[in-house]
Amino acid sequence: MFPGGEVEPVAGPPAAPAATAVFAAVLTEGPVSRVALARRLGLSSAAVTKAARPLIDRGYLHELAATERTGPGAGRPASPLAVRADREFFLGVKITADELIGVVCDLRAQVRATARRPLTDPGVEAVLTEVNRLADDLLDGFAGDRTRVRRLGLALSGDIDRTTGLVRYSPFLHWRDVSLGRLAAQRTGFTVTVENDVKALTAAEHWFGEGVGAESFALVTVGTGIGCGLVVNGRLVSGSYGVAGEIGHLAVDATGPDCHCGGRGCVESIAGTDAIVAQARDRTGRPDLTIDEAVALARGGHEQVRAVFTRAGSAIGCGIAAVANLVGPTRIVVSGEGLAAYDLFDSHIRASFERQAFGAAARCPLSIRPLPFEEWARGAAAVSIQSLVLP
Amino acid sequence: MFPGGEVEPVAGPPAAPAATAVFAAVLTEGPVSRVALARRLGLSSAAVTKAARPLIDRGYLHELAATERTGPGAGRPASPLAVRADREFFLGVKITADELIGVVCDLRAQVRATARRPLTDPGVEAVLTEVNRLADDLLDGFAGDRTRVRRLGLALSGDIDRTTGLVRYSPFLHWRDVSLGRLAAQRTGFTVTVENDVKALTAAEHWFGEGVGAESFALVTVGTGIGCGLVVNGRLVSGSYGVAGEIGHLAVDATGPDCHCGGRGCVESIAGTDAIVAQARDRTGRPDLTIDEAVALARGGHEQVRAVFTRAGSAIGCGIAAVANLVGPTRIVVSGEGLAAYDLFDSHIRASFERQAFGAAARCPLSIRPLPFEEWARGAAAVSIQSLVLP
DNA sequence: GGCGAATATTTAACTTCTTCAAGTATTGAT
DNA sequence: ATCAATACTTGAAGAAGTTAAATATTCGCC
């Protein structure tokens, strides 16, 4: 009991379906009036009023000040609901083979601080220790209220069970069946979520980026590997066997090279960074060529190296068209480290996509843009935000 | 008011979420006890009891007789709920360019009668007239209680809006924006549903066939066109622009033939019936070869024609692997008219699928089997059943 | 400035659905 | 016969949402 006799205030947002829906809608679709929410969610406006009150009381939402209200026309002006971004903060950490990248985000997924730590030992213990240190670094560099940081999202590539926080398999860390969620929660004291990195990035883009409002949405990442996160009917696609969005191993060229996966003519075996380097070395006869040098040569007009990028762009375009033809997303974002060479890919990806997209699928807008590496960590934080909002 | 003073009994099943869930679960997962349903649906057993009562009262469900009960072990034996299959019957009609194929199904989607009518005029009026006549033929040939037939499902290829019953575009009938649902309801007096034929077949297989219980599921049809219906997270995939499951136009061979869709190396341009015939004609030098003759030649050991089927099977396998890699369905059924030549395809489809499926995606079971043409009409009836069960 | 139309939000009574907790039913084992 | 185990039912209580009416606030118009 508290001095006044009240019950201790509940920590999280209310879990009722309507409250959850209202919270998520305000979070992703900016300030909205209660009537608009009611229409959007298929609820009565009374239900929205009731669902919103505890969210306001607990500090997650607030009404826009009168001056910020919109609205021409007659009638009582709306009092749109908006998110109180500094109600709670979230740590997001992307784990790569040799580095941890971390961010602190607010409730609107705005990055408030960043930090990095090198990773030398891929052992579970060592990684946990470094994650813990990175969390400290992040809090040190964070200007806001540290007591409001209660959640940590982790993202890494591999086969991950988000609901249990289990890393079933991580190729680059050589982990199998590591309960990363539980271990990290013990070590750091935070509420921890774990998700595959591409899916985390997709979730971030779906809630806070270009995917907002889309019933279905795809994000394609281009780099060493070529991956894809899918949202269909408003939900992230997981794959019954832990495999989904493996756009990198679609076969697009029956006469293409053998791929390390055992297939032939996979997108990744043509357009993955390693494949591009290998082809560029072959065409130039320089066995030590790096990807940066290949990019430089192509930009400099080296026809044969340009052709490598052209072919890669076409393969990626075919893969993206496959996504459009099969699941028909509302829009597709193409991104990733590989897109440092954005200018060399862009037009070929588009041309190939437009050729292979069937009928109206070609109407699907394509955003092709590079993404800073911190975005991956932001993805991890976004998953953590979702875990707060959704019960 | 009725003589006894009671209110007229309500026509349909109750619409409450729990009732709907119980009905659907009993329908698709056979006789189940209330406790099992409660666990399966995340409800309390009290809720199941209450939800089941009106379904029993209205004749949709019944309890299995004591003799049919299962269960070793101690404790009160369960009284599993089962569907009363003859509570209601459904007409299903598949519309092709030159024929209507119709079935009468019971509530468990068992076919009770079939009929066909040739179609000579693709005009809307003529089709409606023939649909009406076919419905009469079906009722004539149906031994059950005709007053219990109240719903009609229509299935045809093309771009269809299931919710409004609008045929946005039908290539083979040359229809655009025809309110087929409304028109057919007026003409026949039934409650009408309209759905794309592949999606209807997928829905049938998802509720009443091999897809039962699968969170995600894919059905691939091989024939003149090569199509695919997808169920992800328990829901049929529609595609934001009306395009989804267009497996026929995935690019699998960068050096393949140009496709009528404008793409290159599409699955359909290699493995569609027309493409197979064209290739077989080319290889044999017989410009009037038919598909049946090509099949006969291949079965007879004609190496070059066999190679055409081998290549086609490989292309289909690549397409199916693309589905497995991208959405990761629990299982995939491959079927369709084209599979009359099942024996020529089967092993090549599997080999190619296994090569291109990435990692654990290769664990996805593939059922390759021909499907009688009446199954398409049954798909239409299945959609009609769904429209009764889901509100 | 006052009035009415238009729109947004709140309130209160009510309905519906679900769960909880307790009780009943039916079986096998001892 | 009794007990443990499991399935199902019941009734009270609670949660969540709806409808209808009331309240709030603005604009346009006189």
Residue by residue, pLDDT tens for chain A (391 residues) are 333 333 344 468 888 899 999 999 999 998 999 999 999 999 999 999 999 999 999 999 999 876 565 556 777 888 999 999 999 999 999 999 999 999 999 999 999 999 999 999 999 999 999 999 999 999 999 999 999 999 999 999 999 999 999 999 999 999 999 999 999 999 999 999 999 999 999 999 999 999 999 999 999 999 889 999 999 999 999 999 999 999 999 999 988 899 999 999 999 999 999 999 999 999 999 999 999 999 999 999 999 999 999 999 999 999 999 999 999 999 999 998 767 788 898 999 999 999 999 999 999 999 999 888 899 999 999 999 999 999 7
Domain residue spans in chain A? 17-83, 88-203+375-389, 214-370
Flag if B251 and A361 touch (Cβ within 8 Å). Answer: no
The domains spanning A88-203+375-389 and A214-370 adopt the same CATH topology: yes
Q: Contact at 8 Å (CB) between B321 and B361?
A: yes
CA B116, distance to chain mean position in Å, is: 18
* CATH number belonging to domain A214-370: 3.30.420.40
pTM comes to 0.91
pLDDT of residue B30: 81
Cα(A275)–Cα(A267) distance, rounded to whole angstroms?
Answer: 10
B20: nearest nucleotide, CA–C1' criterion: C17
pLDDT, mean of each 10-residue run, chain B (391 residues): 38 86 94 94 94 94 72 78 96 96 97 97 96 97 95 96 95 95 97 97 96 95 94 95 95 92 94 94 93 94 94 96 97 85 91 95 94 93 96 76
The CATH H-level (homologous superfamily) assignment of domain A88-203+375-389 is ATPase, nucleotide binding domain (3.30.420.40)
Q: Six-digit token pair at B195?
A: 């759905």
| Ramachandran region, residue B331 (left: φ > 0; alpha: ψ -120 to 50; beta: rest) | beta
Tell me the C-alpha to C-alpha distance, in Å, between residue B259 and each of A140, A354, B173, B272. Answer: 59, 14, 22, 11
Find the helix or strand (DSSP H, E) in which B49 lies. Answer: helix B45-57
Q: Contact at 8 Å (CB) between A155 and A380?
A: yes
Flag if A321 and B358 touch (Cβ within 8 Å). Answer: no
The CATH class, in words, for B213-370 is alpha beta
Beta-carbon contacts of B166 under 8 Å, excluding residues fewer than 6 positions away, are B160, B177, B178, B179, B180, B181, B194
Cα dihedral B200, B205, B206, B207 sign: positive
Output the furthest CA–CA distance in chain B (Å, rounded).
80
Q: Contact at 8 Å (CB) between B52 and B44?
A: no
Cα(B367)–Cα(A297) distance, rounded to whole angstroms?
Answer: 49
pLDDT of residue A35: 94
Cα(B215)–Cα(A24) distance, rounded to whole angstroms?
Answer: 24
pLDDT of residue A27: 97
Which amino acid does the sequence have at B179?
A: S
Q: Six-digit token pair at A337?
A: 């480290």
Strands (E), A233-289: 235-236
Cα(B200)–Cα(B205) distance, rounded to whole angstroms?
Answer: 9
Beta-carbon contacts of A152 under 8 Å, excluding residues fewer than 6 positions away, are A90, A91, A92, A93, A131, A135, A184, A188, A190, A191, A192, A193, A384
* B321 part of contact set with chain A, CB < 8 Å: yes
Q: For chain B, how far is it from start to end, CA to CA, in angstroms?
A: 27
Cα(B54)–Cα(A55) distance, rounded to whole angstroms?
Answer: 37
- Measured between beta carbons, which residues in chain A are less than 8 angstroms from residue B220? none
Protein CA at A34 to nucleotide C1' at C7, angstroms: 12
Give the torsion through C-alpha atoms of B93, B94, B96, B101, to 10 deg: -60
Q: Six-digit token pair at B85?
A: 């299959």
Cα dihedral A243, A245, A246, A251 sign: positive
Flag if B233 and A232 touch (Cβ within 8 Å). Answer: yes
pLDDT of residue B337: 76
Beta-carbon contacts of A143 under 8 Å, excluding residues fewer than 6 positions away, are A112, A113
What secondary structure letter does DSSP report for B238?
Answer: -
What secondary structure letter does DSSP report for B340?
Answer: G
Flag if A232 and B358 touch (Cβ within 8 Å). Answer: no
Which amino acid does the sequence have at B6?
A: E
Q: Any atom of strand D under 7 A from CB of A391?
A: no
Flag if A233 and B233 touch (Cβ within 8 Å). Answer: yes
């007409």: which residue's tokens?
A: B91
Bridge partner residues of B154 (DSSP): B93, B194
Q: Contact at 8 Å (CB) between B126 and B65?
A: no
Question: If DSSP codes are grouped into helix, strand and coil, which group holds residue B147?
Answer: helix
* B124 part of contact set with chain A, CB < 8 Å: no
CA-based radius of gyration for chain B: 23
Tell me the C-alpha to C-alpha distance, in Å, between residue A115 and each of A34, A273, A299. Answer: 39, 26, 32
CATH 3.60.15.10 for the B17-83 domain, yes or no: no
pLDDT of residue B11: 63
* B233 part of contact set with chain A, CB < 8 Å: yes
Q: Contact at 8 Å (CB) between A326 and B322?
A: yes
Q: For chain A, how far is it from start to end, CA to CA, in angstroms?
A: 26
What are the φ and ψ backbone dihedral angles of A226, each rounded to 5 degrees?
Answer: -120, 115
Cα(A44)–Cα(A50) distance, rounded to whole angstroms?
Answer: 10
Beta-carbon contacts of A17 under 8 Å, excluding residues fewer than 6 positions away, are none
Q: Six-digit token pair at A367?
A: 């955003």
pLDDT of residue A6: 38
- Measured between beta carbons, which residues in chain B are less than 8 angstroms from residue A262? 355
Mutate to test the interface with A, among B206, B236, B326, B354 (most CBs of A within 10 A): B326
| Ramachandran region, residue B31 (left: φ > 0; alpha: ψ -120 to 50; beta: rest) | beta
* B2 part of contact set with chain A, CB < 8 Å: no
pLDDT of residue A311: 95
Cα dihedral A331, A334, A335, A341 sign: negative
Q: In what order do the strands lie in the sheet with B99-106?
A: B111-118, B99-106, B89-95, B149-156, B191-196
Tell me the C-alpha to C-alpha distance, in Å, between residue A337 and each of A165, A334, A340, B88, B324. Answer: 26, 11, 6, 58, 26
Cα(B31)–Cα(B118) distance, rounded to whole angstroms?
Answer: 39
Q: Give B 332-371 residues with CB within 8 A of chain A.
A: 355-356, 358-361, 363-364
Question: If DSSP codes are grouped into helix, strand and coil, which group holds residue A342?
Answer: helix
Nucleotide C16's nearest residue (CA vs C1') is B16
Q: Contact at 8 Å (CB) between B131 and B91?
A: no
pLDDT of residue A59: 94
Q: What share of chain A is helix, strand, coil (3-state, %, to 5)?
A: 45, 20, 35
Give the chain A residue whose CA is nearest to the CA of B323.
A326
Nucleotides of strand D lying closer than 7 angstroms to a protein CB: 4-11, 15-21, 24-28
What secondary structure letter does DSSP report for B8?
Answer: P
pLDDT of residue A66: 63
Q: Contact at 8 Å (CB) between B52 and B81?
A: yes
Q: Any atom of strand D under 7 A from CB of A41?
A: no
Find the helix or strand (DSSP H, E) in which A352 lies. Answer: helix A342-356
